[in-house]
Amino acid sequence: MSGNSIIGEAAIRAGCQCYFGYPITPQNELTEYMAAHLGRRKGCSFVQAESELAAINMVYGASLVGARTMTSSSSPGISLKQEGISYLAASQLPAVIVNMSRGGPGLGSISAAQSDYFQATRGGGHGDYRTIVLAPSSGQELADFTHRAFELADKYQIPVIILGDGMLGQMMEPVEFKHEAPEKPPVRSNALRGAKGRPSRAITTFTSKPTELEEINWSLFRRYQLIQRRETTYEAFMAEDAKLMVVAFGVAARIAKGAIKNVQAEGLKVGMLRPITLWPFPSAQVTSLSNKVKQFLVFEMNMGQMIEDVQLALTGNGDVSFYGRPGGVIPTPSEVAKVISRIYYQKGLK
């Protein structure tokens, strides 16, 4: 199955009841999968919206009434969704947003890129908020993380972003789905479904009293701290006796793995830290690594975005190099291997 279809199937199995989308390459197979497989399910709904703005606001509506709901797009469309994501975050409504990102800025290219890291991990829209950001790097992870995204969204009443890219979306990989679709889509218990047998409720964030909004900001912040403590995930690869640690996420981490295997064969001691949650970022793991390793190489398919989080975590306790390929260029493992060995020798590690 293609990566995009995997997300669709996993979403249906996670009980996604409503999907709202707008065509954009390289994620169209996901929208098409939902049109074919979700729209006809009992009690479920697929809508091809008139824009990404409309799609994310439909997600907001479906989430209000307690449905598990999702939208997907690629970079330019995700920019349009930021308005709605900010409202979802403010109203503490769960939703899953998939970004199979592509080269930017502007209309950019349709090839895989990681240049939306800042947008995804810094909130993206207006106001003080965060979203959980999951970065899969294989077909199996697309399935597993899609399920996890719905669970996390409900658990913390927060929008969750799956940050993939065009390559992951198009790749054909075998996959095992670990969940069966529920008979009936679940309905969140605190949903807004009419004031039957209870006083009426309002879901609003606008207030004329700054102190009220300040309190909302504080309560969001406390939840974000809880998420940081409980949900930060990462993968450490060949980290035990590494002298140089590569830090990479998503598809770049997959390319880097290949590269590391090559240089290991030549006797270089190189490992990798792969953040799986980009927010919360595994800062504590980076910090503790710096007790053993002093050389870091951040590799991203952009001009250097996650590197800022690595530097923040290291606070000077390590030397950080960077290799980036923006614009939708996908480097090969051997290219990355060359960069790794060059830095390894330059830094006097051998």
Partner 1 sequence: MKKVYSRPKSLKRNPFHYCPGCGHSVIHRLIAEVIDEMDLQDKAIGIPPPGCSVFAHHYFDVDMAESAHGREAAVATGIKRAFPEAFVFTYQGDGDLAAIGTAETIHAANRGEKMTAIFINNAVYGMTGGQMAPTTLSSMKTTTTPYGRDVEIEGYPIKISEMLALTRGAVYIERTAVNSPANIRKTKKAIRKAFQSQLDNLGFSLVEILSPCPTNWRMEPLESWRWIDEVMAVEFPLGVIKDVTGSKDAD
Q: Which stretch binds partner 1 (CB under 8 A): 109-117, 200-208, 245-253, 258-266?
A: 200-208
Query: Is residue 53 a contact point for partner 1 (CB under 8 A)?
Result: yes
Q: Find the part of the chain contacting partner 1 (CB under 8 A) among 55-63, 209-217, 224-232, 297-305.
A: 55-63
Q: Which is nearer to partner 1, 87 or 281 (CB)?
A: 87
Contacts of residue 106, Cβ cutoff 8 Å, sequence gap at least 6: 76
284 binds partner 1 (CB under 8 A): no
Counting contacts by CB under 8 A, is residue 197 touching partner 1? yes
Q: Does residue 131 touch partner 1 according to CB under 8 A?
A: no
Q: How far apart are CA 58 and CA 165, in angstroms?
A: 24
Q: Which helix (H) or strand (E) holds 296?
A: strand 295-300
Per CB under 8 A, does 92 bind partner 1?
no
Q: Does 45 bind partner 1 (CB under 8 A)?
A: yes
Q: Which is nearer to partner 1, 205 or 264 (CB)?
A: 205
Q: Which stretch binds partner 1 (CB under 8 A): 79-87, 148-156, 173-181, 209-217?
A: 79-87
Q: Does 203 bind partner 1 (CB under 8 A)?
A: yes
* 50 belongs to the binding site for partner 1 (CB under 8 A): yes
Number of residues engaging partner 1 in binding (CB under 8 A): 40
Binding mask 177-196 for partner 1 (x = CB under 8 A): ---------------xxxxx
| 13-48 residues labelled b (16+ CB within 10 A) or e (exposed) | bbbbbbbbbbebebbbbbbbbbbebbeeeeebbbbb
Could you tell me if 154 and 188 are in contact, meaning their C-beta atoms sit under 8 angstroms apart? yes
Structure tokens at 109: 């290219």
Q: If you write DSSP's letter for every residue of 6-63 in order, what string do you get?
A: HHHHHHHHTT--EEEE---TT-HHHHHHHHHHTTTSTT-EEEE-SSHHHHHHHHHHHH
Which residues is 71 bridged to in the sheet?
A: 20, 97
Q: Report if residue 140 touches partner 1, rule: CB under 8 A.
A: no
By beta-carbon proximity to partner 1, the closer residue of 205 and 233 is 205
Task: Decide if residue 75 touches partner 1 (CB under 8 A).
Answer: no
Q: How far apart are CA 292 and CA 38, in angstroms?
A: 49
Q: Which stretch binds partner 1 (CB under 8 A): 81-89, 115-123, 228-236, 239-247?
A: 81-89
Of residues 106, 219, 226, 104, the one with CA closest to residue 166 = 104
Residue among 340, 319, 144 at smallest CA distance from 255: 340
Interface residue list for partner 1 (CB under 8 A): 17-18, 20, 45, 47, 49-51, 53-55, 57-67, 69, 83-84, 87, 91, 192-197, 200-206
